[in-house]
């Protein structure tokens, strides 16, 4: 079944200046609730390695695990677009990326795949796009590179780094990406990138000027162990139950009341 929401829908929403929301989903029960709240995009994120499996990072997550969770989400995702992460080391060559993206779509039911990285992923994005695979490119903080980056830190703070991220965004659009996800970058940089490209931009820790927002569902329900990230908010605190918290999140994104300056960099 074609999802009611596609990359084209999100592009039209961007053109109309209408914001959209996204949450991570890892199972059918949450997928059903997220769809019922009218949330346009569900991300089967490799964050499942941390929030579901309790691992230290997203790196150990396998293709088979992504497919397992994607199938569960797709059984109840309704009209949401389901985007699925390409896990660490699944895109070493463009050909390998194509084979693995094919598995996520054919076996997992993904509507779109998400690929971390900029200039190093241009060939892979070109090949995926040429074969009809919708792609979300992920720039800024790349959790799969956490050990290289030295931690979960804000990216693009200095001018040279900001220029590199902007150049990557423009190049990824030209290579055929359908959506861009920006993680943990200064709000001013996210605003500049969102204005510079026609791709819908989803932010997480990237300020309110992105076209859409994404959060890890466990963070926004206050059940992630440890300290909640600065850019997140516990929507359950002001809600009677989980459906109301999801609904309030969608409303806050649409009305640009989330994230606030305090939740941005």
Stretch that binds ligand KIV, among 42-50, 99-107, 156-164, 230-238 (CB under 6 A): 42-50
| Beta pairing class for 112-116 and 135-140 | parallel
Residues near ligand KIV (CB under 6 A), total: 11
Catalytic residue among 40, 99, 173, 183: 183
* Separation of first and last alpha carbons in the chain: 39
List the interface residues with ligand KIV, window 199-258 (CB under 6 A): 204, 214, 216
Query: Is residue 110 at the binding interface for ligand KIV, with CB under 6 A as the rule?
Result: no
**DSSP calls for 55-94:** -SSSTT--HHHHHHHHHHHHTT-TTSEEEEEPPTTS-SSH
Query: Is residue 90 at the binding interface for ligand KIV, with CB under 6 A as the rule?
Result: no
The helix (run of H) or strand (run of E) holding residue 168 is helix 159-175
Q: Which residues of 148-179 are buried (b: 16+ CB within 10 A; e: fewer)?
A: eeeeeebbbeeeeebebbbebbebbbebbbbb
Query: Is residue 24 at the binding interface for ligand KIV, with CB under 6 A as the rule?
Result: yes
Q: Considering beta carbons, is residue 88 or 103 the nearer one to ligand KIV? A: 88
Q: Considering beta carbons, is residue 24 or 33 the nearer one to ligand KIV? A: 24
Stretch that binds ligand KIV, among 1-9, 39-47, 64-72, 230-238 (CB under 6 A): 39-47
Whether residue 183 lies in the annotated active site = yes
User: Catalytic residues, which ones?
Assistant: 183
Site residues for ligand KIV per CB under 6 A: 24, 43, 45-47, 85, 181, 183, 204, 214, 216
């Amino acid at each position: 079944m074609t999802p009611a929401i596609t990359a084209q829908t999100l592009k039209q929403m961007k053109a109309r200046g209408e914001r959209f929301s996204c949450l991570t989903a890892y199972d059918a029960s949450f997928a059903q609730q997220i769809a019922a709240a009218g949330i346009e995009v569900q991300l089967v994120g490799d964050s499942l390695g941390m929030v579901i499996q309790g691992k230290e990072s997203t790196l150990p997550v396998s293709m088979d695990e992504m497919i397992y969770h994607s199938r569960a989400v797709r059984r109840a995702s309704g009209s949401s677009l389901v985007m699925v992460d390409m896990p660490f080391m699944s895109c070493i060559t463009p050909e390998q990326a194509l084979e693995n993206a094919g598995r996520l779509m054919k076996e997992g039911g993904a509507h779109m795949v998400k690929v971390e990285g900029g200039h190093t992923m241009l060939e892979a994005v070109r090949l995926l796009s040429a074969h009809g695979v919708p792609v979300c490119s992920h720039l800024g903080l790349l959790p799969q590179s956490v050990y290289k980056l030295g931690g979960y830190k804000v990216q693009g703070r200095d001018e040279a780094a900001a220029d590199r991220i902007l150049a990557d965004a423009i190049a990824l659009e030209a290579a055929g990406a359908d959506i861009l996800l920006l993680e943990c970058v200064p709000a001013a940089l996210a605003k500049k990138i969102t204005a510079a490209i026609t791709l819908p931009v989803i932010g997480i820790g990237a300020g309110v000027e992105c076209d859409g927002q994404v959060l890890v569902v466990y963070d926004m329900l206050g059940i992630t162990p440890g300290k909640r990230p600065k850019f997140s908010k516990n929507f359950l605190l002001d809600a009677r139950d989980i459906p109301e918290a999801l609904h309030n999140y969608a409303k806050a994104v649409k009305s640009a009341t989330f994230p606030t300056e305090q939740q941005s960099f």
